[in-house]
Amino acid sequence: MLDSTGKPHIAWHEGNEDEPPLAKIFYATWNGSSWVGADGGPIGAIYNSPYPSLWTSIAVDSLNRPHIVWSDGDEKNREIYYLKWNGSAWVDADGVGQESINISNTPLYSSWPDIEIDASGNPHVVYEEVSEGNQEIFY
C-alpha cells in the first residue's frame, strides 16, 4: 500500500498456523533508507495473541497512518481484529487502547478480511463468515 507521499506500507503474518511459533501480524514502512516499524524503530508484531494471526489486509488513511485487519483465533472460532496507528500506538477504532480490537465477535469462523478507508478516515471492513458450511460476506 502506498501513502499520499508514495511511501510503501506493508503488513503480513509470519509464523505457523498450528504449532509454535504461532503466526503474528507484522507491519513495516520504508523510511528512505530501511524498513522500520510504525514508530520508526525495529519491526515487531503489532499484537501478541495466544492464537495464530492470519490473512492480513492494510489500508492507509489521509494522515498516512496504517489501518490493519486480520483473522485471529483457533481452528474452530476465528475473529476479525482491527488496529490502527494513531501516531504513537496501535489502537482500536475508538483511538484509545485495544479493548474493542475484535470487530466480528461471533461464534462463527471469520476469515479473509479486507479494509478500505473513506475520505473521512472511517474504516470499512468486509470478511467471510462460515457456519455449518454456509459462507457469507459480512460488512
- Give the model confidence (pLDDT) of 93-107 as tens digits: 999 899 999 999 998
Q: Cα 95 to chain center, whole Å?
A: 15
123-128 long-range contacts, CB within 8 A, separation 24+: 123/59, 123/67, 123/69, 123/82, 123/84, 123/93, 125/69, 125/80, 125/82, 127/69, 127/71, 127/80
Binning pLDDT at 50, 70 and 90, where does residue 76 land?
A: confident
Give residue for cell 503488513: 11
Which DSSP state fits 111?
A: E
Whole-structure pTM value: 0.94
pLDDT > 90? residue 126:
yes
According to the model, what pLDDT value does residue 131 have?
Answer: 82
According to the model, what pLDDT value does residue 75 have?
Answer: 83
User: pLDDT per residue over 4-17, tens digit each?
Assistant: 999 999 999 999 99
User: How many CB atoms sit inside 10 A of residue 137's CB?
Assistant: 10
83: which residues sit within 8 A by CB, 6+ positions away?
A: 46, 47, 67, 68, 90, 91, 92, 98, 101
Q: State the Cα–Cα distance between residues 17 and 111, nearest whole angstrom.
A: 13
β-sheet with 53-60: strand ranges across: 53-60, 66-73, 78-85, 90-91
